[in-house]
Amino acid sequence: MDLILCHQTADFDVLGAAVGLAKLHPGSRIVLTGGSHPTVRQFLALHRNEFPLIELRSVNSDKIRSLYIVDNQQGDRLGKAADWLTLPHVQQIAIYDHHLNSPRDIEANILELEAVGASTTLIVEKLQRTDISLSMVEASVMALGIHVDTGSLTFTQTTVRDVKALAWLMEQGANLRLIGEYADPGFPPPLQFLFAEAMHNLRKEMVRGYWLGSVLLTTESFVPGLSHLTERLLSLTECDALLLGHVYDKGKDKTKSSGEQEKTGASNNNQRFSFIGRTRIPDTDLTQLLEPYGGGGHAQAAAVNLRDIEPTEVMADIYQGLQRQIPKPLLARDFMSSPVRTIRPHTTIEQAQRILFRYGHSGLTVVNQEEKLVGIISRRDLDLALHHGFSHAPVKGYMTRNVKTIDPDTPLPRIEAIMVADDVGRLPVMAGDTLVGIVTRTDVLRQLLQDKQEQSERFGDRLATSLPKFGQGNLLELLKTQLPAATWQLLTTAACHAQARGWHLYLVGGAVRDLWLRHSQGAKKHQNITFQDIDLVVDGFHTKADVGAGVELAQALQGDYPGARLSVHGEFQTAALLWHKDPQLDSLWVDIATARTEFYPYPAANPEVEASSIRQDLYRRDFTINALSIRLTNPSPGKLLDFFGGMNDLQSQQVRVLHANSFIEDPTRIYRAVRFVVRLGFDLEPQTETYIRYAIASGVYERWRLTEHPTPALTTRLKAELSIILKAPYWKGALTLLADLDALKCLHPELKLTEQLWWQVRCLSRWLRWLDPERQLEHWLLRLGILLGALPPQERIKIATGLQLPKTMIDGLANLETMETAIAKSLGCQQCPRPSVIYQTLKGYDRANLFLVAARGHKVLRKQIWFYFSQLCHVSPFLTGHDLKALGYKPGPQFKQILTDLLNACLDGQLGDRQQEEAWLNAHYPLPKKV
């Protein structure tokens, strides 16, 4: 006999999972080991015969073969059925549960614990992999299990797997009317009375920005359905956490009055105490609080039944424990945007609109000459004024003057409440009369989303598998293990300097991305990932640090590391510390920048830069996977900042751009996108690919190339990207992807990677691999030269000059056809030119240019140049000029000719050793006979 055991207080989740298991194991029977929730009992009163239920007393324990336990891992929750766990003839015990943190005392052969919202989901997923079909009632009870345990998919422990399981059950015929009837059945009369009493006696308290509620109810006997009552109270009272205690008598002592029984308290052996807790507060865990009492459940929903205790003491103990768990809420100062973009009251509507466009804001604060806040104007206000033709009117006529403000220590929950109650989209942050920052609705939503992602990690959602299960600060531990010890010490030192000045310091960009890649996918797969380039960003808005904060920090670090070379770029408020072959840090490059925002005044221009906050600094970056940051300083060192879904894109292995116009503003980002796609083995996110193709097809690069303006994006930055791509071992994949995207048009509208050109590039690379293994030539530069060589001479010279290529390369590209004609004329006029002719013809040409000529030339010419590089260049006579002098030849005009003719004879194979060379000299250039 195979039995499926439900715990003693059966809810819809355990019943739904049991029904599903019974379908997976035909012939098995379901045992309700104790009581059940009122709604479950009502459901079974009508539908009991639909399921293979068997009463506990009807089980012949001698015939038990297998035990399947759902939604439970503790023997004492099985009542008398727990005795079956130790029967010697039981062949298998299996557990299916979704309470990861629940204590377990049952030894099982099969243990399936998954972080999903309901145990039923685990069983549904097994059913989906079979051909088993469900009846309407079976599908409905399983759907009820998921609905009830996930709050109809609203509880934070809900996962995508629960949603998919519920959708499948709907396809199987789950009845919505039936689900609605039992998922929210309303209150029966006993609960209606208790609900009124609970609302009257509920105690609420604000703790660290969250509302805590607690209530202790007393009845003469047990009242079922209190978990439903707790859920309703939590919703209606708008508490963030609610603790409900229920004191009752298991068997009322008729010899005592109710007043006498209340006085006896815990001394009454019949007194029982049930506790039910619900919390929506991040980082709180009710199972942890109830563990000492033997309770269990979820982190956000847990319960325990006790006896022989003092209820008020237990309630107070759990309440105080919950208070200690509540994290300190984020304050306005922790996530406000600063410095604040302000305008004067006399600024025109048109000017304000341009400022909004430039910085991507949705509103602006208005201050007077004394820098005192006098109003706020939103994009909506400006649009309305422009619509009515008042573009030249001052903003003071349209701004909101009665401005709601907050101070830097206002907690996030309070900020959220103000925005909702007053319907405001931005709140200036005031330190006294000074405007120090602003919090927008977007700031709040982003922070709430990040909190949601962090909760998902705790409940085993998708992101939890991507990052290690670290709390705050443990990302620092990951950094410590992944980085070389000396580099980690450098970061620690930098953080100490920043913190001493009241600044925040962040590790940003590629280092954070590569840290995740190495940890999640293994260093072996990404062994080409090193941490030799590290970017740090200083955010000093808390202390009104000026734009030179990054430079100041770099200078302080150089004091600790005098061996580092300091380079300062004042225009962009950045500094770099460089080590070269340092005994500890090797060749390390650390960029330190002040958090900044940027604006491109026109396409392909250098950006205009202004100091700003870390949020704005990350917002200006190119791709989501490069807009990640780890805080290195207090508060919350080790906190991951991911405002744009970079972690999700890393998990999905895709490169996604942050801004729709990103590629129009800077074409080098196209090349960066391709570089990351090929280097990391990622895909180009479809919308990002659309943006790239649109930017190229728009012709913006060609129009800009033909104007009189300088084009720095097509020179310095583009040259750097081309250098990285064409040097990399993945250059072939990158070049083919660039060609597929038509991105070579960023260099020239007529440049295409034709089959012939692609063959030439690969031919050149093969030659370089064999003939220049020590890389005396710049291989990337020659690959670029072949590409440019496909363009008309004047165009290729213009591009090469714009990219600031070496003069020898520019001259070679300019004279490419001339060289090809001259070489072909010299060697082609002879049927089979002697080796000496080949050598003398080619020796005067630059080596790099000959590689270009060979790759572009016909087969015979390539063969001759290959012969020149592989053999002829390595031929030299045994006799040198010193030998000629020793033999009696006098230096003079004829001396050079003798050496040239001697070399030619060796090249043509006429001479093979020193003796033959001396004989050749005597025959062709005899010395005068002595008289």
C-alpha of 231 from chain center: 35
DSSP string, 311-331: HHHHHHHHHHHHHHHSPPPPB
Residue 499 burial by Cβ neighbours in a 10 Å radius (0-12, 13-18, 19+)? middle
Which residues have CB under 8 Å from 576's CB, separation 6+?
554, 566, 567, 568, 569, 589, 590, 591, 592
DSSP string, 92-151: EEEEEE--TTS------SEEEE--SS-HHHHHHHHHHTS-----HHHHHHHHHHHHHHHT
Tokens standing for 759? 């063959």
Long-range (24+ apart) CB contacts under 8 A made by 407-410 are: 407/332, 407/431, 408/331, 408/332, 408/333, 408/336, 408/436, 408/437, 409/331, 409/332, 409/333, 410/331, 410/332
In the three-class reduction of DSSP (H, G, I as helix; E, B as strand; rest coil), residue 300 is classed as: coil
Cα torsion 285, 289, 290, 291: sign: positive
* Cis peptide bond upstream of 635, omega within 30: yes
> Over the chain (931 residues), what is each successive 10-residue block's mean pLDDT?
91 95 94 88 89 92 94 90 92 92 86 92 94 92 93 85 95 90 72 85 88 92 83 85 90 43 49 91 88 84 88 94 87 79 91 80 87 90 90 91 91 87 88 88 76 50 39 67 89 94 90 84 53 86 62 93 88 82 90 73 52 76 92 85 88 91 84 95 95 85 59 72 94 96 90 95 95 93 96 92 91 93 82 88 93 93 93 92 87 86 93 91 83 52
Q: Which is nearest to 442 in space by CA: 459, 419, 463, 421?
A: 419
In the three-class reduction of DSSP (H, G, I as helix; E, B as strand; rest coil), residue 924 is classed as: helix
Which residues have CB under 8 Å from 846's CB, separation 6+?
808, 812
d(CA 412, CA 322): 19
Half-sphere exposure in the Cβ direction for 138 (13 Å, CA): 20
> What is the C-alpha radius of gyration for the chain, rounded to an integer number of angstroms?
39
In the three-class reduction of DSSP (H, G, I as helix; E, B as strand; rest coil), residue 506 is classed as: strand
pLDDT for 266 equals 41
d(CA 682, CA 689): 13
Other CB atoms within 10 Å distance of the CB of residue 889? 18
Q: Which is nearest to 411 in space by CA: 239, 205, 209?
A: 209
* Cis peptide bond upstream of 793, omega within 30: no
CB 345 within 8 A of CB 366: yes
CB 789 within 8 A of CB 805: no
C-alpha distances in angstroms, 199 versus 212, 229, 461, 518? Answer: 14, 11, 35, 53
Other CB atoms within 10 Å distance of the CB of residue 152? 15
Q: Which is nearest to 453 in space by CA: 445, 463, 444?
A: 463
Residue carrying the six token digits 């715990």:
7
Quote helix, strand, coil % in the chain, to nearest 5: 50, 15, 35
User: Strand 210-218 relative to strand 203-207: parallel, antiparallel, unpaired?
Assistant: antiparallel
C-alpha of 83 from chain center: 50
| Cα three-residue angle 597-599-600, rounded to 5 degrees | 145
| Cα three-residue angle 261-263-264, rounded to 5 degrees | 65
User: Strand 110-113 relative to strand 203-207: parallel, antiparallel, unpaired?
Assistant: unpaired
What is the phi/psi pair of residue 122, to 5°? Answer: -60, -40
Cα torsion 823, 829, 834, 840: sign: negative
d(CA 494, CA 472): 20
Amino acid sitting at position 689: E
CB 608 within 8 A of CB 591: no
Q: Which is nearest to 699 in space by CA: 741, 748, 657?
A: 748
Which residues have CB under 8 Å from 696's CB, separation 6+?
663, 670, 741, 742, 743, 745, 746
User: Strand 565-569 relative to strand 533-539: parallel, antiparallel, unpaired?
Assistant: unpaired
d(CA 705, CA 715): 11
What is the phi/psi pair of residue 889, to 5°? Answer: -80, 135
d(CA 489, CA 878): 59
CB 430 within 8 A of CB 373: yes
Which residues have CB under 8 Å from 375's CB, separation 6+?
345, 365, 366, 395, 396, 399, 400, 401, 403
pLDDT for 522 equals 58
d(CA 140, CA 144): 6
What is the phi/psi pair of residue 277, to 5°? Answer: -125, 145
pLDDT for 589 equals 92
d(CA 531, CA 510): 9
Other CB atoms within 10 Å distance of the CB of residue 358? 14
Tokens standing for 266? 């815990």
pLDDT for 699 equals 76
Amino acid sitting at position 929: K
d(CA 320, CA 491): 38
What is the phi/psi pair of residue 356, to 5°? Answer: -60, -45
CB 611 within 8 A of CB 547: yes
CB 537 within 8 A of CB 614: yes
